[in-house]
Each structure stands twice: as structure tokens, then as C-alpha cells.
Structure 1
Amino acid sequence: MSEEMIIKTEYSDIMQKSYIDYAMSVIVARALPDVRDGLKPVQRRTLYDMHELGIRSDRPYRKCARIVGDTMGKYHPHGDSSIYEALVVMSQDFKKGLPLIDGHGNFGSIEGDGAAAMRYTEARLQKVSEEALLADLDKDIVDFVPNFDETEKEPGVLPARIPHLLINGAEGIAVGMSTSIPPHNLRETIDAMEAYMKNPELTVEQLLTIMPGPDFPTGGIVVNKDELPEIYRTGAGKIKIRGRVEVEKLKGGKEQLVITEIPYTMIGANIGKFLNDIGSLVESKTTTDIVDITNQSSKEGIRIVLELKKGADTEQLTNMLYKKTRLEDTFGVNMLAVADGRPETLGLKQIFDQVIDFQFELNTRKYKTLLNKELDKKEIQEGLIKACDVIDLIIEILRGSRDLKMAKGCLMSGATEGIRFKSEQSKAQAEKLRFTERQATAILEMRLYKLIGLEIEALMKEHDQTMKNIARYSEILNNYDEMQKVIIADLERYKKSYGEERKTDIVNAQAAVYVEKKIEEMPVVFLMDRFGYCRTVDTATYERNKEAADSESRYVLTCRNTDRLCLFTDTGKMYTAKVQELPYGKFRDKAFPIDNYSNFDSAQERIVCVSSMEDLILGTMLFVTKYGMTKTVSGYEYDVRTRTSMATKLNEGDEVLYAGLVGDHTQLVLQSVEGFFLRFPVEEIPEKKKAAIGVRAMKLSAKDHLEEVYALADGEERNILYKEKEVALQKLKNGSRDQKGTKIRV
């Protein structure tokens, strides 16, 4: 038994090497497409497996579970969900301008509905996949590599005859890098590639006159045309894309906005978010011109209808949609692909260089294979033609030979020993025979009917055709221009069969300008009940309903409709909400949870104070915590624009029991669970920063903590009930901060 070898090395070196190996494996073998066929490994393996299973476009559909299982077992051992997801995406015409798989069943929708389970759906290859990606695999056109367990062979790359990487685009997240390539129009991309093949000196700007830019399956409008040359030169940048909005006139002078195309980035759940965003704009009174929203989208296309008030400014509303929602969005371009075995960000010309080189390689290998086959046929045909001329001699050799080996030897080298001939003349002729091994085998296997005159004539014609094929294939292989013509002829055929009109417009458009209407500033009263439901009313409405409002509301606050509300919670956080976004109307109008208008989460924390920002920054905040810490903080520290910020720092396990503006309050009364009361002047509490914990307000025993905090103004009289005993707070003994206080006996 051999001794165990221990290699001592730096742990960091091992980690670095292992991580780099892992990262490269993800990059090359999982996440990024190959520039030559534009496919990620899972896509390539799925298509090849369907090709091998014979699930062609002219044959019946097969269950996706069968395809996924076979692909996983033979080529892609990384889980069925990734294979099925890749299959589904390759069949969705709203994601791929050129779907590669023909799906049958529920394959999801543009609105984000997922595909049905793979046991319910069926699929087969699209014709374009067979012709443009999988054709000629039997002609030694690409290298085959062993699969993961070396029991099968799979192509390292598919023989794609079109610039598929650009036509269908790609998306993928690797380790430390990601790719995002927009889809393009097949006709335009092929035209640009042909032009570049004929003249490699063409600039990116010149190529973009042929292929103006991306062509998204969802249509839309690209609005930064002038920035595209730099994006296609470097392979990275941002494309701004808008949905298409049309104005439809209705009876009675009304109009409605109809969104007929959406940005490519809005596919899926973002359509629902877009509708919610419009609803929020209406709810927050950002616009009052939208009366109703209906999503009338169907299989025929997108149709989102916004019903408007009579006399609404449609241009202003359209600009608002572009500015405030995802109807105008950004598509981040990063044309990263695997080129020569390594990830590389490629510009348009570099992609064309790689694809064109690959086309020449494919055609060289194809026509070499075809030429060798024709040369083999030529050899056999010439042998058979020659044999027909001396068929009587060959029959005599066959009849005179003891075995096949003797007859074959005579045909190949003229060896006549042991063969019985009718005459010496025949023997002399036989000694001159010099057929090749292939020719001799073909002669020995030839059937007698081949000696019929018409069959011999057909053989002569076939030989003539073979000679023409040899001349043609040799010309293609030895002449660059001829091979280029062949490649262009193939491209033209695909363009004619599968080309479609462009869907996306590419223009230079001005940035959407939306000027929000200035809100008429006025005082309003904020009302929030104990369940966190809030609304605002005007001051006159409040005065008319003051008694009911005060009794039903936990917080009543007068503020300006242009101000922000500050919500202080027991967790030491402060949340802000714009007053103008809160529901405003009549006193009995429906209220909504404050959670809807701020980041506050009522399930996780509790509001202990509500203030307007205007009052807050002019005042001083007072905090008291459950375990007896206190401080004051200048309101200026809370003048922030963020929706969530820290209000005060807390010890672990502590929480804010009381928070409020100091205002006219001069006395503070603290009440503990064990019945201790401490009254002391507010002025004894030091001012600290909001990031400070504060100082001790009251000495508490180990099991005691504060239960209530009361802030009193000068001369204010307040009586409370403590365990059914009335306590006059103003009559409590005066004390100082950090004392134990007086115990109330009951």
C-alpha cells in the first residue's frame, strides 16, 4: 500500500486557483454564449438532443419532459429546471425574434405567466433550427467532444449559418461578469454581414446604415440613435427604449391613450408593476386626468387603454408616463461572448469577424468532406466503367478462381497463379489488370443487371456529374471569392425564407419633459387611527367634525400639503411620507394604511410619534426608552431627503417608549412597572446627537422597566388612574433625573 502524499501549500493559493477554475467553468460552460453559434451550452445541447431524437419540424410534437430528461441524461447534468427554462425561452416569440423551438401548449405569456409543467407541454424543432443551425452535422463540419461521462459525443459548437448571436441576442449572468445582447432583425443583420464580407473596411457608422440597431420582438422606439455607433463600436452602453403610445378619439370629444407596444425590458411582471405605477399616480393626485385603466392585451398584441377626462392634455400625460413609469426604460448592452475559448466584450465588427471566419471554416470542412466522397465515387465509377470493357475476361477470372482472395488478387495486381484460363491470351490480358482495392471490391460486388446497356449509360452520366462536382468543390476550396459567393447564397436563402419586417423604430427623440403642476399650498389636517389607517382633510372639514375626528384618531396633526410627515417608531427609526401622496377628501372618505405611502412596516414595528418636517426641524425631539435612557436631539438632524433614516441609537433589546417634540413641555413624569413615579424638569435632559444612546433618566431595579411617560407643560394639571387609584401628576414630589422616584402604594 503506497504512502499518502501530503502537499503543503498556502490556503489562499488553493482558494484562488479553485475559485478561478469554478468561475471559468461557469463562464464558458454555463452562462455565456459562443460567438460562433450564439448559443449557451444548455441551448446547444437541447437543440442537438432534439435533432438526435428526430423531433423535426415535419414530425409530431414530443413531450418536453422526454426532451429534458434525455438532454439531462446525455449531455447537461445540471438539473431539469435550467434545461426546461432554456427550452421555453427558445420557443417564446415575444423574447426571441427568431424562435428556435415550436412549442405546443402553455409556454407562458408576455405578462409574466409561467409555462405549464414539462409533463403537459410538447415541442419540436422549428424549420429554421434544422436548416440554419443543425444542417450538415454528418459532414464532419464541426468537432465533436465527449459528454460529461464520455459515453456520448456532442458538438462543441453547432454549425450555425447565420449570425445568430446578433439575431436572437443573449442574456446571462456568470461569475464576476454578465452578458446582455439585444436582438436584431434577421434581414438587416444578414445584409450588414454580407456588406462587411465584401468590404471589411466599412466603419461601424456605415454598417449601421444597413442595420440601424436592435429590433426587439415587442417593438417600441429606440430614442438615442446618435449613441448607437459608440455602443456598437465598444460592445457596451445603454439603449433607451420607449413604448408606443397612440391617441384615440372617442365620441363626445373625449380621447384615450392606448399603449400598443411596450419596452422589451417590461416583459413579464413589469407590466403589472407599470399598471400599479399608473394607479399610484392617480391615487396620489399627480394626475387627475386618468379616469380608468384597462389592460386589453391578448394573443394579438399589447393594448393598455387609459381613459381620460374631456380636455386632458395627451402630450403632457404621455410625457408623464415616460418620466414616471417604465414606459421609457434602459436596456443595458454588454456584448460579452466566448470567443476562442475565452470571454470577451465584442464590438459589431469583431462579432462579424468571428462569425465570418467560422462560416469559412464550416464551408471548408464541408466541401473537403464532399470532395473526398466524390473522389471515392470517381475511383469506383472509373473501375466499373473499365470493368465493363473487359467483362468477359473478369467473368473468366471469377470462374477460374478457387476463392475470392485469388480473384481479387488477380484484379488488383494481375496475379494469375492457380487460376484456370480458357486461353493463354486471356491469361496475358489478366496479368495486365491493375484495379485499386476499392475498384476490385466494387467489381466483385457488382450485380449482373448493371451490364444492361441503359445501366452502363447511367453510370457514364453519373461519372460525368461526379467530375463536375469535383471541379466545382475544388474551385470553391481553392478560390476565396467562390467560397464567399457560396456563403452569401446560403445567407440570401435564409433571409428570403425567414426574414421579417422591422418592429422597432430607431430615432433621435428629445427627453420627455414633464412639468408637475404646482400644488396650491394650503393647511390640511392629518388623521390616523389606532390601526394605522390615515387620510387628510381640509381645516374647515376638521373643525366641523372635530369631536368625532379627535375621538376616532390616535394622531391628529395640522400641516401643509407640501410638507413631509415624519414617523418615529419603537425600533429607533424615522420614516418620511409626502403629505400630498396621502388620500385627501371628505371626512368619511376611505382611509388607507400609512404603510402604502412610506417604508414603515406595521407588522414589524410601532409608531410612537408623528410630526411634520416643518415643525420638527424648528424644534427639539425628546426620547425616552423602555429601560430608562433619555436624551434630546436638535430637529435639524432629521432634515433628510431619504424615506428611511435612524432616529436614535438603542441598546440591545431596548425600544423607544416615548418620542415627541419638547415644545412647551417643562416637566417629565416617568412611571415604572413596579409602581415608581419620578417627576423632574425636562431641562435636566442633555442634548445629544441622534447616533448617541443618551443618559439614564431613572434608576430601575433589574426586573423593572418603564411603562408610561408623561410630558407636562407649566401649570398643566393631569390626573391618571394607576391600579384604580387616581394619581395627580402635578402633585408628585419634585425630583431630579437619575433618581429612583416615589413608589405609589395601592
Structure 2
Amino acid sequence: MNNDQNDDFIAEENTQEVITKVTGMYKDWFLDYASYVILERAVPAIEDGFKPVQRRILHSMRELDDGRYNKVANIVGHTMQYHPHGDASIADAMVQIGQKDLLIDMQGNWGNILTGDRAAASRYIEARLSKFALDVVYSPKVTEWQASYDGRRKEPVNLPVKFPMLLAQGAEGIAVGLSTKILPHNFIELIDASVKHLQGKRFSIVPDFPTAGIADMSNYNDGLRGGKVRVRAKIAQKDKNSLVITEIPFGTTTSSLIESILKANDKGKIKIKKIEDNTAAEVEILIHLPGGVSPDKTIDALYAFTNCEMSISPLACIIEDNKPIFIGVSEMLKQSTDHTVELLKAELEIKLNELQEQWHFASLERIFIEERVYHDIEEQETWDGVIQAIDEGLKPHIQHLKRAVTVEDITRLTEIRIKRISKFDLDKAQQKIEALEDEIAQVKHDLEHLTDFAIAYFKRLKKEYGEGKGRKTELRLFEDIEATKVVMRNTKLYVNRAEGFIGTSLRRDEYVTDCSDIDDIICFTAEGKMMVTKVDAKTFIGKNIIHVAVFKKKDKRTIYNLIYRDGKRGNAYMKRFAVTAMTRDREYDMTQGTAGSTVHYFSANPNGEAEVVTVYLRQAGSIKKLKFDIDFSELAIKGRAVKGNLVTKYSIKKVELKEEGVSTLKPRKIWFDDTVQRLNVDGRGELLGEFRGEDRLLIITQKGIVKTIKPEITARFDEDMIVLEKWIPKKPISAIYWDGNKERYYVKRFVIENELKEESFINDHPKTQLELVATDWKPVVELTYPKPRGKDAKEPDQVNVEDFIAIKGITALGNQLTAEKVKQINALEPLPYEAPEEKPTTDIDVNEEVEITIDDTTVKTDPEELDDKLKGDGEQGSLF
């Protein structure tokens, strides 16, 4: 085998596989096919913004245009003279152009971009060119023509479009080896940007979608590769048990959107009762929710798990000089605007030439008739003699003409009818010449001030065609939605502590919590090992599991308190730490890793609580103190890898909880979601305030019960609750009630003396009823009275409750409000009062960012992440 053969055939050692190079006609054919698909099928041209099929459709419509509607089937048939790819592709392309509602005036059922319904058959629908299309798309005198595919007709190379049509309509196509996706932009914004470009000003443009919706364009990247646009449906809460979608993301339909919602419901990601699609001219999708499901959380879940949020990756590829190139939408607009200016210039130059020719012939005609040059041809016997006679007769009078008189000019003069000569009006002829001179002067002025002319042209387009073309898509910066926070808990987690297994299939073992199939689970064992793993049917963690919970990424408020023995006979240490970042399925040691280490005490505190524990020592030697208390609040929160503080050198018998603690962290904001009557830290519902470890919630019910509770996320509330707010111990509570025993209205003011006790501040008589309760510092109420027969009603009274009664005990009867019959009691705006300032917090923040310097570069990082990186965690898997 020679060297050439060695190049063509490469045999791998110990295999039978032979690689053959593709050469010759195969290589050429594929390249020809790819070039054809790119240039003639899939990618639009920068000059007019059309693909070949679109250009041929619009050319055919112009040829058929007589102001009336044409059957689309007829237009498709006519277009087949130029486009050799069958009627179906032409009809589909025409429907797509029509649905963009810019170039085609439609009649009949052209489908619905909102629902995805298809258009009627082409024999049933009709179309004609819109006024806008006739204005900006066509100009035969500046159009470059080429032969059609069979050589029988002429078609435009590019249509002379005087508008950034490609950006207005958008384009999408898949070719061989490349694709394009240019998003549609707003009509008015494109015109404004073109004007700014002509004025030398900076501009920026972002997409606007016909389906409206909400979009985040912060990463649009000018439409280039690597950019991304996030689009969302517009979802609103209709009532406590239903949501309504009124706008959908670009690229979806109501059918595909509903299908994605039903799939998410089937998978347990969201919970819905039923969906109604009432879409017609406007989108209306009703989503009915089961009781106890938060509408706010469901909205976030719809964005996280359904097509209510989509990500679009633009890719601006166009054809320029018969080559595909990638340019940004800003550059597209500049080129389109500059091309429009060139077309306007070409049209003005043609118009100027035509006006000058009209002026030239009108002047010749005036001379020919006014000077009676036509008499000079009466004696001529030959055609050449006639031409010569007229030429000689004109010479004395043509010094003011702009060009020489040609034979063609003289021939046109001989074609003037006698009737016209006999009715020739010199004044009208002069007025016509002067009008032409004015037009010529205006065109020359426009050519000299071409930029101003182009700006005026764009402004005219905006004025004439901009009505109803305002922005549809709302621009907004999206916050990332954490799927684990909004996913519905669709499965149950179990644990076999002794054997060391966790999973959703261990139904005979201990139930831990509800979870979702995308959650992470954190586990601790009695040996001081820790691991985070994904929810699965059954996973081995390690024997003697002491704690299992759903793990929250970057959770700085869950604090773990730990007392452990280092080795079989080592010292005992204690520490507090949070777990904010780690590698999944890697085992971490919370002790020093010494063989035989064990955990004496462990607690997981969701809000950084620091309890007090009692340590019992084993009797050994001369130990005098076998029992002592430890307060975890005196211990600083550090990283999970620290050794901790020494507890004792002696052997520990047991550790018991003595007293529950309060949070040592900075205050956290807590909200109340009235729809599901639950607290949350995710920003849903009404903000109740910032809570420290010792802060409590005040609850008052319609039955006259008052109590305070810790603001735990798992707390549940009675349906008759009328007050829920952050409790300020010194702030008085004012109440007006109807006393069933006395049959009078009474008012009382009190403060809560025992925060741990639930008490009633009205008596238990069946007719006793709470009328009004206020937690303002200085409340004011208004009393209105009924109108007696035949008399005028008594004027309403205003009562300053603070002046009316002093603060008394919670069980006191209070003061009688009035002895008269009362029609209504209303709470008014309270009097101004400057509440005492709260003491500044000295609480601790967990794992605040630290600055480190690496190679003279200072960066900020989380201590936990830094700890993992220094230990080489990144080599084990993804850091999260």
C-alpha cells in the first residue's frame, strides 16, 4: 500500500474498523446542499429581512394587488411560479406572515397564536397587502431583478424595504450546520432607535412579544449567541382559591401551557383542583386551588415547574453578501437604517431625474408651440428633414435648458396632437413649469439634507402606523425562584436509625417529614458523621442515625449544638455551627476523626436557639463535681470543622436538656399568609416584623382570648383570630365589649402580665360579645347613635381611650362606655405617639462573608465554602 493509500485508509490496531475519508463529489454535494438550505431556505437576508419564500409571497401579492382581497389559495398558486417547493410550505409561510399583523390585511380564520389553533384551509381565507406594506416594501424603480428558477419570469433579488422589518417580525430557522433565532421587537421602539441612530445618539432595543407576558432582558446580550431572555406568564390571584393567567410567555400556547401545568400536578410539584381555559380574543386561564394551598407559593411553583416561565436563547444569524454572519440586533438596526437612507436617496435621485425630464419636455413643448416651430415642417418631404427643421427652429430659444435636445425629444414633439396645440394655454404651461421647478428644488433640498429627510420619513411612519403598536411585554428583573422552597411536599421520608437507612420506601420504619423528590436530606450519626444526599427510595447513611431533616442550601439560621467525645477515652468538646455548603454524598466528620469518637448531645435549632444542658459525669477517682450546667448561648458560632471548646477531661455519663433557649441570631423577618393561615420567611403575605430570639407574637381572638406564642413557622392559628402582630410587652391592649350581665358597653385597657398563659379578658356570659379591640398606643373610637322617632339623631361622640380609662388588670370589668343606645362603634385614626426605642441587638450573624487574598487578588467567600475548597472538596463533586 502506497503513501496515498495510507492516508485514505487508517486501520486501528487490534480492531477491524476502517475510517474512510469523504472526498470528491460527496464532499461537494453536501457543501452545495448546506449552502442552498442556508441561503435559500432558512436564514433571512439583512437587506429586506425576508427569507426567499416570504419575499416571493409578497412579490406575488404585489403583482395580484388590485385593492381587493384574494383567496390565499390563488396567491399560493401564483407564488409557485417563483418558489419551487410546493403549496403547503408557501401557505404555512403566508399564515406566519399574516399572524404577525404587519404586512398582510387578513380576512377569515387565520388561526390563533394564543391558543395554537391552526388557520383554515387556504381556499377559505383571503388576504391583501396592508397599507403599511404598500408604503415601505415596494419600489420597482430601485429594485434589482433576477430570473426566476425556471427562467420564465423576473423576481426581486431583495425587496426595497425601508424599515427594520427583520427586527419587527423576528425570524427563526434551522439550516444545515447553523440556525437563527431573531426575536421580534416593538414597532415604535424600532422607529425611535432608527431616529436616534440618524441623530448620532446611542440607543438600545429589546424584544417585545405579541403574546405579551413579562420578560427579563438583563442577559439579552444584544441578541447574540450566549444571551438569554426569560419570559413569564402574567399570573394574578383572583381570590383565595383561584389564580388567573391573562398573558402567556412567547413561544407557548394556552394548550401547551395547560399541559405543562397538568404534568407538574401529576408529578406532585404543584397542587391544583382544576383548570378552565376561557381564552378567546384575550387569554384567560383559571386555575382552581384546593383548600389550604397558598396562591403566592403556587404562583412561584408555576414559574419553577411549568412553562409559565421559559428561557429563550437568541441567535442573530443573517445573510449578507451571500454569506451567513452573526451580528447583534443593534448592528442590524444600524445597517437597516443606513440601507433605508440609501433607498430613500435612490428614490429621490430617480424622482429628481424624472422631474427634470418633465421640466425639460414641458419647456420644449412651450417653445415648440409658442414660437410656432411646427410651421417649419410644412415644406419638408422627408423624416430627416422634419427633424432637422425642428432642431433649427428650437436652437434660438433653448439656451436656458439643462441639457441638449436629442432626437428622442424632437420625436416626442412631433407626436403632439393638433387639438392640443390649438387649445394650448401659455399661462397654464408656465404654471406647470414653475410647479415642476418648485418640486425639483424641494427634491434637491431633500438630497442635500438626506438625514433630516430620513428622520422625517421615520416619524411619518410612526404617526401613520404606530397607533395600537405600543409595547405589550412588561420588562422586569426576575428573582431566581428556589425550586426546593416552592415545590409541594409530594412524598414522605422515613428512617431506620439503627441500620442507618433513609428513604421514601421504608414505610414500616419511623416517619420523619414530608418532602419532595428534589429535596436534599441532611443526616448525622452517633459517631459524629454528617452527610447530605438527594431524596431516594433507600439510601445508606451509616448506623445509629441521630438526626434527619430536609437540607436547605445556604441556610445560616439552622444552628447545630454538639457535645462529643474525641476518641474512646479522649476529652469532651462542645461547639455550635451551621451547615451552608458541602458536596453531596460525601461523609463529613463533625469530630476530629479519632477512632471511637461518639456524640453525647446533639440538637438542631431552626432559628439558632441556644439551650441550657446538664452534664452528668461518671464516678471516677476524686471527682467532686459530678453534675454541672452548660449554656450554649455563651458559645460562639463557628465553622463545622472547628475542634470546639473543652467541656471536661472526665468520662461523661449523660447529657440532658435543662432549659430551652432563645435565638442568638440577628432578627429575621416573618410574614403571615392569610390565605393558608401560616407564617413564612419567604416574603408571602403581610410582613409582621423582624423577630429576635425572645420576641413573641400577640394573638387575640373574637372570643376574647389573648395569648403570645413563639413565631415558629409550624404554628397554626384559629379561624376567629382578629389580631396577629409582633408583641410589645409594654404596649396596652384596648377592648370595647358588650357585657351580657350588665347589658352595657364597657371599655378596658390592660397589658399581658404572664406571656406563657392564655387568658380571656371578657366574661363567659352567653350574650357577652367583643365589639372592638385596638393595639394602638393612643386609640380613638367614634360612637354613633340611632335616630329617635320625630327627633334629630345625636351627634357622634369621639372617645380618647387613653384619657377615658387607665391601664388595669386583665380581669377587670373596665369602665362603662355609655348608658345610651349605640348604633355603631368605629375605630378612628389613633393619636400620634412616639413609641420607645427598642434596644439595639447584639445578636450574632452566622458565617458572614470573609475576605481572602490569593495572588494579590482580594475576593469574598463564605467560610464554609472556603473550608471545603481548602480541603479539596471540589475534586469530589459539585459544590452547592
Q: Which category describes the TM-score, using the shorter chain as reference length?
A: 0.5 to 0.7
Residue 505 (structure 1) aligns with: 474
Contact residue 409 and residue 415 of structure 1 kept, 8 A: no
Provide, for residues 542-576 of structure 1, a one-character-per-residue CA deviation record: whole Å limited to 9, x for no partner.
Answer: xxxxxxxxxxxxxxxxx9982499xxxxxxxxxxx
Aligned twin of 1:214: 207
Is 1:275 the counterpart of 2:258? The answer is yes
Amino acid in structure 1 at the alignment position of 2:71: K
Counterpart position of 1:150: 151
Q: Distance in 1 between matches of 2:394 and 2:490?
A: 112
Shift of 1:615: 9.2
Q: Distance in 2 between matches of 1:307 and 1:415?
A: 90
Equivalent-residue separation in structure 2 for 1:517 and 1:121 (angstroms): 47
- Is 2:239 the partner of 1:297? no
**Match in the other structure for 2:132:** 128
- Identity of paired residues, percent? 30
| Other structure's SS at 1:226 match | coil
Residue deviations 1:136-194 (CA, integer Å, cap 9, x gap): 22xx2121111112211111111111111111110111111111111111101110111
Q: Specify whether residues 340 and 309 from structure 1 end up closer, same or farther in structure 2 by C-alpha distance, changes over 3 A only.
A: same
Structure 1 or 2: larger helix share?
Answer: 1
Residue by residue over 1:368-416, the C-alpha shift from the partner in whole angstroms, topping out at 9 and shown as x without a partner, is 221221222122112112123321x532x23322244422221124699
Q: What does residue 455 of structure 1 align with?
A: 425
**Contact persistence 1:241–1:330 (CA under 8 A):** yes
Cα deviation for residue 517 of structure 1 reads 4.7
- Provide the TM-score with structure 1 as the length reference: 0.60
**What's the CA shift string for 1:629-677, capped at 9, x where partnerless?**
xxxxxxxxxxx99xxxxxxxxxxxxxxxxxxxxxxxxxxxxxxxxxxxx
Instruction: Give the Cα–Cα distance (whole angstroms) in 1 for the partners of residues 420 and 506 of structure 2.
Output: 99
Counting only pairs closer than 5 Å after superposition, residues 488-637 of structure 1 correspond to structure 2 as 488-499=455-466, 500-514=469-483, 515=485, 516-518=487-489, 521=492, 562-563=504-505, 613-614=537-538
Alignment of 1:223-622 (within 5 A): 223=216, 225-228=217-220, 230-232=221-223, 234=224, 236-249=226-239, 254-267=240-253, 271-288=254-271, 290-298=272-280, 300-310=281-291, 312-391=293-372, 393-395=373-375, 397-413=376-392, 436-451=406-421, 455-477=425-447, 479=448, 482-499=449-466, 500-514=469-483, 515=485, 516-518=487-489, 521=492, 562-563=504-505, 613-614=537-538
Aligned partner of 1:68 among 73, 76, 87: 76
The Cα shift of 1:454 comes to 6.7
User: Is the alpha carbon distance of 1:486 and 1:520 closer, same or farther for their aligned partners in structure 2, counting shifts above 3 Å?
Assistant: closer
Deviation of 1:281 after TM superposition, in Å, equals 3.6
| Number of the residue aligned with 2:667 | none
Deviations 1:54-98 (A, max 9, x none): 25xx31x222221111111x2111121111110011111xxx2x4
Distance 1:560 1:462, change over 3 A: same
Q: Which amino acid aligns with 1:501?
A: G
Question: Cα gap change, 1:273/1:360 in structure 2, threshold over 3 Å: closer, same or farther?
Answer: closer
- Any idea what the Cα deviations from partners look like across 1:682-723, whole Å, max 9, x if unmatched? xxxxxxxxxxxxxxxxxxxxxxxxxxxxxxxxxxxxxxxxxx
Verify the 8 A CA contact 1:411 1:435 in the aligned structure 2: no
Paired position in structure 2 for 1:699: none
Q: Is the 8 A contact 1:32 1:40 kept in 2?
A: yes
Which amino acid is the alignment partner of residue 260 of structure 2?
D
Looking at structure 1, the residues matched to 287 and 422 of structure 2 have their Cα atoms a distance apart, in angstroms, of: 81
The SS at the match of 2:227 is strand
Question: Which amino acid in structure 1 is aligned with residue 317 of structure 2?
Answer: L
Residues in 1 aligned to 2:409 and 2:269: alpha-carbon distance in whole angstroms: 89
Residue matched to 1:421: none
Are the structure 2 counterparts of residues 564 and 484 from structure 1 closer, same or farther at C-alpha, using a change threshold of 3 Å?
Answer: farther
Structure with larger RCO (C-alpha < 8 A, sep 6+): 1
Tell me if the contact between 2:503 and 2:538 (Cα under 8 Å) persists in the aligned partners: no
For residues 500-540 of structure 1, give each alpha carbon's deviation from its aligned partner in whole angstroms, at most 9, with x where no partner exists: 1110011112112342354673789xxxxxxxxxxxxxxxx
2:279 aligns to what SS in structure 1?
Answer: coil
The 3 A distance-change label for structure 1 pair 62 and 21 is same
**In 2: Cα distance, 1:388 partner to 1:63 partner:** 52
Give, in whole Å, the separation in 2 of the partners of 1:363 and 1:99: 21
Contact kept? 1:563, 1:579, Cα under 8 Å? no
What is the one-letter code of the residue matched to 2:150?
Answer: D
For residues 284 and 145 of structure 1, do their structure 2 counterparts lie closer, same or farther at Cα, with a shift above 3 Å needed?
closer
Structure 2 contact 47–339 (Cα < 8 Å) conserved: yes
Q: Using the alignment, how far apart are the partners of 1:521 and 1:143 within structure 2?
A: 71
Displacement after TM superposition at 1:16 (Å): 2.2
**TM-aligned CA deviation for residue 357 of structure 1:** 2.7
CA contact (8 A) 2:65 2:129 kept: no
Deviations 1:592-621 (A, max 9, x none): xxxxxxxxxxxxxxxxxxxx9539999xxx
Aligned-partner SS, 2:318: strand
Deviation at 1:121, TM superposition (A): 2.3
Q: Contact conserved, 2:225 with 2:313, CA < 8 A, in 1?
A: no
Q: 1:340: how far off?
A: 2.4
Cα contact 1:108–1:116 (8 A) shared by 2: yes
Q: Secondary structure at the match of 1:124?
A: strand
Structure richer in strand, relative to its length: 2
Q: What is the CA–CA distance in structure 1 between the aligned matches of 2:347 and 2:394, rounded to whole Å?
A: 40
Letter in 2 for 1:79: G
Alpha-carbon distance in structure 1 between the residues aligned to 2:40 and 2:60: 17
State the superposition RMSD in angstroms. 3.4
| CA distance 1:436–1:564, shift in 2 (3 Å) | farther
Taking structure 1 as reference, are residues 219 and 384 closer, same or farther at Cα in structure 2, changes over 3 Å only? same
* Per-residue deviation, residues 469-493 of structure 1 (Å, max 9, x unmatched): 333333434x2xx111222222112
Residue from 69, 94, 97 that aligns with 1:87: 94
User: Structure 2, unaligned stretches of length 5 or more?
Assistant: 1-20, 496-500, 508-513, 518-535, 543-583, 586-880
Pick from 108, 118, 132: which aligns with 1:105?
A: 108
**1:33 and 1:338 in contact (8 A); partners too:** yes
The residue matched to 2:304 in structure 1 has which SS?
Answer: helix
1 CA distance for matches of 2:283 and 2:53? Answer: 31
Q: Which amino acid aligns with 2:471?
A: R
Structure 1: tracts of 5 or more residues without a match: 1-9, 417-427, 525-558, 566-577, 582-611, 619-639, 642-746
Aligned partners of 1:235 and 1:348 also within 8 Å = no
Q: Indicate the SS of the match to 1:75.
A: coil
The 3 A distance-change label for structure 1 pair 401 and 244 is: same
Per-residue CA deviation, residues 209-261 of structure 1 (Å, 9 max, x unaligned), is xx4x11100001112x3323x334x4651100001001113xxxx34210000
Provide the secondary structure at the position in 1 that maps to 2:180: strand
Assess if the C-alpha contact under 8 Å between 1:236 and 1:335 holds in 2: no
For residue 329 of structure 1, report the CA deviation from its aligned partner.
0.2
Tell whether the 8 Å contact from 1:29 to 1:41 is kept in structure 2 after alignment: yes
Secondary structure of 1:510 counterpart: coil
SS at match of 1:28: helix
Aligned residue identity for 1:65: A
Q: How far apart, in 2, do the equivalents of 1:124 and 1:356 lie?
A: 27
Question: For 2:387, what is the secondary structure of its paired residue?
Answer: helix
Offset of 1:338 from its aligned partner? 0.8
